[in-house]
Amino acid sequence: MFNRSRRKIILSIMGSLLLLFAITLTVIMLASYHEMNRKNQDMLEHHVEIYSLDQPTGERMLPEPEPMTDGPREPKGNPPQEPPPIGGGPDYELSTFYSVALADDQTVLAVDDGDKGVYSEEDLVSLATEILSEGKTTGNTGHLAYIVAQKPGYTLVAFIDNTVSESSMNTLLHNVLVFGGTAMVLLFFISMILANRIIRPLEENDQKQKQFVSDASHELKTPVAVISTNAEMLSREIGTNEWLANIQYENERMGGLVRQLLDLSRVESAEAPMEQVDFSRVVTGEALAFETLAFDQGKTLQSDIAEGVFLTGNRNQLTQIVSVLLDNAIRHSTGKEIEISLKHHGHTAVLDVVNEGNEIPPEKREHLFDRFYRVDEARNSDGQHYGLGLSIAKAAAEKHGGSIGVSCQDGKIRFTVSIPVKKT
């Protein structure tokens, strides 16, 4: 059971790390692409703003040199600087822009191919014409981002080449995937080591506890049997006696507790032989056996058992599951009717046992399958019941690779056991 818990913990840790890595990578890439597009858009808008047919490339004019004078120069100090236009700066100077100016009748007035030779004038004119025909004002085509702007007397379609930016982003993504993947592999092995170190003491403690329960139960069998025999012999000698009757009653209860502890120990620890079992027949047999008990308590047992549900499992343990759930339903039902059903859903056998009863609070449902736990904590042990039955059922279900759960709805309590169907 602890090995399964260890795998669940490791898978949970790795799943969380993978999810965190994926979210972080997605956020980084989206933020980077958004920032790149925003910056390119700002530079493109700046290029459109300063564009003119007389100076199509938008180049800045160098300041005229100051005249030389023989006299002493006045100190310049730090005159206030004009803030650079939005989209300007080194990135703007290093970016490649293309533009096509067209008259209202689609006559080409000017084409700037950026002197790079990457796109010919014919290619740029064709792209601009296509963009205008689609009626778009901004967007992307290939590795180019574009803006359509209305200038005095003509329409300007300006482009900025995103090849370098996109290449940088692809490089970033490649590096993140490579180094992130390497980090994930390292984290996987680290989490395996840490999980083993954390769980090992708990596993050892659990094994020691189970071994103690098993050993103590076996040791108690002998004195319980001796007390039972001596009490029986003494009753023959002295006849009916109140104190002797109490000894016999409590000894029987002790024997029942020892048997349940041994059952729990065997289910949890021992490797039971597995075989092909007709689970439909097992459930039907137990339902028939418990009909009498239900009738004695003024209750009826309604069965809806599908035929031909076969499992690869241990017949005794599967019988214990059904027996525990039916016994629990009959004892705790507040109504007159108990329902048991067995269905075959895909590759899973689903057993449901339903009885009427007061709703179990969620905080108590979590502990319902713990050893010695009872919903009514103030209630003393009832006959041969010590709060171990549901623990045994849970251990048996998990031994078969299945699960058991409880739900409350509309005044009914439903126990559901799901066991995968395996073939030998």
pLDDT of 395 over the 60 cut: yes
CA 278, CA 308: separation in Å to the nearest integer? 7
13-17, 84-88, 145-149: which range is least confident on average?
Answer: 84-88
In order of 190, 202, 213, 275, 278, the CA distances from 10 in angstroms are 10, 15, 29, 31, 35
pLDDT of residue 216: 73
pLDDT band at 60 (very low <50, low <70, confident <90, very high): very low
Report the topology of domain 273-420.
Heat Shock Protein 90 (3.30.565)
pLDDT of residue 377: 52
Average pLDDT, integer, range 58-65: 41
CA 282, CA 323: separation in Å to the nearest integer? 10
More confident residue, 334 or 74: 334
51-55, 97-101, 294-298, 334-338: which range is least confident on average?
Answer: 51-55
How buried is residue 389: exposed, middle or buried, by Cβ count under 10 Å (0-12/13-18/19+)? buried
pLDDT of 9 over the 70 cut: no
Strands (E), 19-153: 97-102, 108-112, 138-141, 144-151
pLDDT band at 355 (very low <50, low <70, confident <90, very high): very high
pLDDT of residue 386: 63
pLDDT of 72 over the 90 cut: no
> Where along the chain do its domains lie?
273-420
pLDDT of residue 84: 45
Would you say 102 and 109 are in contact if contact means Cβ atoms under 8 Å apart?
A: yes
More confident residue, 272 or 395: 395
Would you say 238 and 38 are in contact if contact means Cβ atoms under 8 Å apart?
A: no
89-93, 306-310, 328-332, 390-394: which range is least confident on average?
Answer: 89-93
**Given the structure tokens 């980077």, which residue do they identify?**
32
More confident residue, 1 or 355: 355
pLDDT of 328 over the 60 cut: yes
pLDDT tens digits for 234-251?
888 888 888 888 888 888
pLDDT tens digits for 255-310?
877 877 777 777 766 677 888 999 999 999 999 999 988 888 899 999 999 999 99
CA 293, CA 349: separation in Å to the nearest integer? 26
Would you say 1 and 398 are in contact if contact means Cβ atoms under 8 Å apart?
A: yes
pLDDT of residue 302: 92
pLDDT of residue 62: 36
pLDDT of 419 over the 90 cut: yes
Average pLDDT, integer, range 210-220: 71
pLDDT band at 5 (very low <50, low <70, confident <90, very high): low
pLDDT of 361 over the 90 cut: no
pLDDT tens digits for 79-117?
333 444 444 567 777 788 889 999 988 888 888 887 766
